[in-house]
Every structure is written in C-alpha cells, then in structure tokens.
Amino acid sequence: MDAVTPLVRVQEAGFDLAAETARLSEGRVDVGGIASFVGVCRGDDGLSALVLEHYPGMTERALTKIAAEACARWPLTGCTVIHRVGRILPGEGIVLVLTASAHRAAALESCAFLIDWLKTGAPFWKREEFTGGGSRWVEAKASDDAASARWQLGR
C-alpha cells in the first residue's frame, strides 16, 4: 500500500460530502469502508451565524500533523479534513472529516480520533452572532479536552 497523503484544506467555501467521499474510493478497489463526520452549525438561542477565525499557516500545519498521526495509527487508504473559516450560517457544515480503510474499525476509530483532536489541537476560534445584534466568543470546553485526552491512553 502506498503511503497515504491526507487531504487537508482550510477554506471559506462550503464542501460537498458526496464529492469528497467519492474521491476516496475512485479508481481503487482496496477500500472497504469510509467513515465521515460533518460538524454542522446549530441555530440555538437565536444564533444567526458563527464566525470562524484561524491562524493562517499554523492551522494548516496543525491539521496536517493530526491527519498524519491518524494515518500512522490506523491502516488508512485515505483521509480528508476540510475546515471552514469565516461566516457560517445555521444548518451549514463547519468541518468535514473522512477516513477510508479496508475495514470499518480503522475508519470509524480514526474518524473519531480526528474530530476529537482537531477540536483541541488546531488554532480556530468561534464567535457567535445573534439575531438582534450582539456577539460572543465561544469558550473552550473541558469535555473537549477530555475527549481528546482519551486517545493518549492505550494504543
């Protein structure tokens, strides 16, 4: 199996789940399963938009490092991480993680690992904007730290 080069993108535009999924199996017959996670913007409590800020350069580096770690821990045939920045409306996708492997366990576990790790390991900041004006920065959650820390055990 050739070494896997993860596809990592940070972009303002939306993403196409079907097209990105198809990309991981096209032209090959060794893929047995593709796991996906799509983070979606909720419209709770009068939220009108999320505004995502990032650290150009470091963000791409951090995501690439996390994706490479997933490829080192699990036998993946492909891996895609797309994270949006800028203004995102309720119902729109924020982040896409796809992992492909010969077998489901590797795909499902690595997908969960990637989303847990990128929440705490990549420089993005969310600001919530509300209908009727006003905005606030989202605070980091201790539960996200715990979710990412569990991957340091075992394996």
Partner 1 sequence: MKILYFAWVRQRIGLAEEEVSPPAEVRDVAGLVAWLATRGPGHATAFADPRQVRAAVNQDFAPPDAPVAPGDEVAFFPPVTGG
- Catalog residues that contact partner 1 under the rule CB under 8 A: 39, 52-55, 57-58, 61, 83, 94-95, 115, 118-127, 137-140, 144
- Residue 32 has, within 13 A of its CA and on its CB side, a CA count of 10
Q: Measured from the CB of residue 27, what is the shortest distance to partner 1 in angstroms?
A: 31
Q: How far apart, in whole angstroms, are the C-alpha atoms of residue 94 and residue 101?
A: 24
Q: Measured from the CB of residue 138, what is the shortest distance to partner 1 in angstroms?
A: 4
The residue among 73 and 127 lying less far from partner 1, judged by its C-beta, is 127
81 Cα distance to chain centroid: 5
Task: Tell me the one-letter amino acid at 154.
Answer: G
The residue among 98 and 115 lying less far from partner 1, judged by its C-beta, is 115
For 2-13, letters b (16+ CB in 10 Å) and e give eebebbbebeee
Q: Measured from the CB of residue 95, what is the shortest distance to partner 1 in angstroms?
A: 6
- Residue 26 has, within 13 A of its CA and on its CB side, a CA count of 6
Question: What residues form DSSP beta bridges with 65?
Answer: none
The residue among 25 and 120 lying less far from partner 1, judged by its C-beta, is 120
Q: Measured from the CB of residue 99, what is the shortest distance to partner 1 in angstroms?
A: 15
The residue among 7 and 55 lying less far from partner 1, judged by its C-beta, is 55
